[in-house]
């Protein structure tokens, strides 16, 4: 299997690192073509794959063998099948599917990286200033954005379902909770928990559809609003997942204040992001932080210590943190009873 961490003490390794974009594009293209879903029907030769996906055939065998070399496919007697990881996470429609995040990365992020030098020179993001508003107004783009968010959220859901003892909690509010992917899973796993989602009004139709798909209509309530302008509804547990990194520190402080006011006494605020280790942050989280520079006005990933300071300033009585998943940190902020 090709190493994903080349030896940068050698010229070969440095060249490999600088050309890692080619490897990424090969994988993203396979997801774009929905190759892994096509292979779920059973092992296939290159010709079968070409027929299933309507491809010309040129380059296909190399792509299939590359995906096998990367460990995403298995090859036997000239037939290709999904390797276990691809079968679990890249077949459309499966609960563990993360292809949405990759499709979003390909469509929305890949080209922005080409302008990183410009962002570093100007301090300005690469996405258009009105890009978010335009995306909200375009149903197709909004759905793509939602799938991208849910692709990043999916690996975190099992940890969030057991992050705390939910038994004593009556209500949960997912702030910026999109179409209710997490809130739906929480109420399904913890009967008796009342679910609430707060998000921009444009998200409400998608929320309604998603709840109907999950058979949860009525179990989770949608509150439309702007979390910088409107008061948040009260709940025993609030969640701020992948929200704070979109904003500069002073606005993170405003959101922490709004969250503090909304948590019922004795309740909890759960914050999760790809936070930066106070010592030596890892590669993935530094890349995530650079993405925030490319796509937001002042956002970045941030150190746990910075968030703990904001939580105490907001009024929270105790702040703990622990890993939620690889690269993801969960911070638990307790409000005094």
Ligand X SMILES: C[S@@+](CC[C@H](N)C(=O)[O-])C[C@H]1O[C@@H](n2cnc3c(N)ncnc32)[C@H](O)[C@@H]1O
Name residues whose C-beta falls within 8 Å of residue 163's C-beta, 6 or more positions apart in sequence. 270, 324, 330, 332
Say if residues 27 and 70 touch (Cβ distance below 8 Å): yes
**Closest residue by beta carbon to ligand X:** 176
Among 53, 81, 116, 200, binds ligand X (CB under 6 A): 200
Q: Does 180 bind ligand X (CB under 6 A)?
A: no
Q: Which is nearer to ligand X, 178 or 253 (CB)?
A: 178
**Per-residue contact flags (x/-) with ligand X for residues 117 to 156, judged by CB under 6 A:** --------------------------------x---x---
Q: What are phi and psi of 169, to 5 degrees?
A: -105, 135
Q: How far is the CB of 16 from ligand X (least distance, A)?
A: 32
Q: Which is nearer to ligand X, 83 or 183 (CB)?
A: 183
- Taking alpha carbons only, the member of 186, 187, 302 closest to residue 243 is 302
Maximum distance among all alpha carbons in the chain?
A: 66
Beta 73-76 vs 79-82: how paired, if at all?
A: antiparallel
Q: How far is the CB of 228 from ligand X (least distance, A)?
A: 5
Say if residues 174 and 241 touch (Cβ distance below 8 Å): yes
Distance CA 60, CA 56 (A): 8
**Per-residue contact flags (x/-) with ligand X for residues 62 to 101, judged by CB under 6 A:** ----------------------------------------
Among 46, 104, 125, 176, binds ligand X (CB under 6 A): 176
Q: Which is nearer to ligand X, 21 or 228 (CB)?
A: 228
Q: Which is nearer to ligand X, 31 or 292 (CB)?
A: 292
Q: How far is the CB of 85 from ligand X (least distance, A)?
A: 22
Among 22, 47, 228, 278, binds ligand X (CB under 6 A): 228
Distance CA 136, CA 197 (A): 17
Q: How far is the CB of 21 from ligand X (least distance, A)?
A: 24
Q: Any idea which residues carry the catalytic annotation?
A: 245
Name residues whose C-beta falls within 8 Å of residue 266's C-beta, 6 or more positions apart in sequence. 236, 335, 336, 337
User: How much is the CA Rg of the chain, to the nearest whole Å?
Assistant: 21
Q: Which is nearer to ligand X, 28 or 292 (CB)?
A: 292
Residue in the structure block whose two tokens are 């609960």 = 95
Which span (36-44, 79-87, 89-97, 195-203) binds ligand X, by CB under 6 A?
195-203
Q: In the window 242-271, what residues touch ligand X (CB under 6 A)? A: 242-243
Q: How far is the CB of 169 from ligand X (least distance, A)?
A: 18
Distance CA 33, CA 83 (A): 17
Which span (5-13, 69-77, 215-223, 239-247) binds ligand X, by CB under 6 A?
239-247
User: Total residues at the site for ligand X (CB under 6 A)?
Assistant: 14
Instruction: Say how far residue 76 (Cα) sits from the centre of its chain.
Output: 34
Q: Which is nearer to ligand X, 239 or 319 (CB)?
A: 239
Distance CA 101, CA 149 (A): 6
Q: How far is the CB of 84 from ligand X (least distance, A)?
A: 25
Q: Which is nearer to ligand X, 31 or 197 (CB)?
A: 197
Q: Does 199 bind ligand X (CB under 6 A)?
A: yes
Which span (12-20, 111-119, 173-181, 262-270) binds ligand X, by CB under 6 A?
173-181
Instruction: Say how far residue 155 (Cα) sits from the centre of its chain.
Output: 9
- Taking alpha carbons only, the member of 237, 235, 255 closest to residue 245 is 255
Binding site for ligand X (CB under 6 A): 149, 153, 176-178, 199-200, 203, 226-228, 241-243
């Amino acid at each position: 299997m090709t190493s994903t961490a080349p030896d940068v003490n050698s010229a070969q390794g440095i060249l490999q690192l600088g050309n890692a974009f080619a490897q990424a594009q090969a994988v993203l293209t396979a997801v774009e073509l929905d190759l892994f879903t096509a292979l779920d029907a059973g092992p296939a030769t290159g010709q079968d794959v070409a027929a299933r996906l309507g491809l010309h055939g040129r380059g296909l065998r190399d792509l299939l063998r590359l995906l096998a070399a990367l460990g995403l496919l298995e090859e036997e007697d000239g037939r290709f099948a999904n390797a276990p990881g691809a079968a679990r996470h890249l077949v459309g429609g499966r609960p563990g599917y993360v292809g949405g995040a990759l499709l979003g990365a390909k469509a929305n992020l890949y080209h922005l990286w080409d302008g990183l030098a410009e962002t570093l020179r100007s301090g300005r993001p690469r996405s258009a200033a009105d890009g978010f508003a335009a995306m909200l107004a375009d149903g197709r783009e909004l759905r793509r954005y939602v799938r991208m968010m849910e692709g990043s959220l999916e690996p975190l859901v099992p940890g969030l379902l057991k992050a705390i003892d939910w038994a004593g909690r009556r209500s949960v509010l997912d702030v910026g909770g999109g179409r209710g992917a997490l809130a739906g899973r929480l109420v399904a796993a913890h009967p008796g928990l009342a679910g609430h989602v707060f998000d921009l009004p444009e998200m409400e139709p998608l929320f309604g559809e998603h709840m109907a798909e999950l058979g949860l209509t009525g179990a989770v309530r949608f509150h439309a609003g702007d979390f910088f302008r409107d008061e948040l509804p009260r709940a025993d547990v609030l969640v701020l997942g992948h929200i704070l990194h979109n904003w500069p520190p002073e606005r993170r402080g405003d959101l922490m204040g709004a969250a503090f006011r909304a948590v019922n006494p004795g309740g909890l605020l759960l914050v999760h992001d790809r936070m930066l280790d106070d010592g030596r942050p890892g590669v993935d989280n530094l890349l995530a932080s650079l993405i925030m520079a490319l796509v937001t006005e002042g956002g970045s990933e941030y150190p746990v210590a910075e968030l703990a300071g904001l939580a105490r300033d907001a009024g929270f009585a105790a702040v703990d943190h622990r890993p939620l998943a690889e690269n993801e940190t969960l911070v638990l902020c307790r409000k005094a009873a």
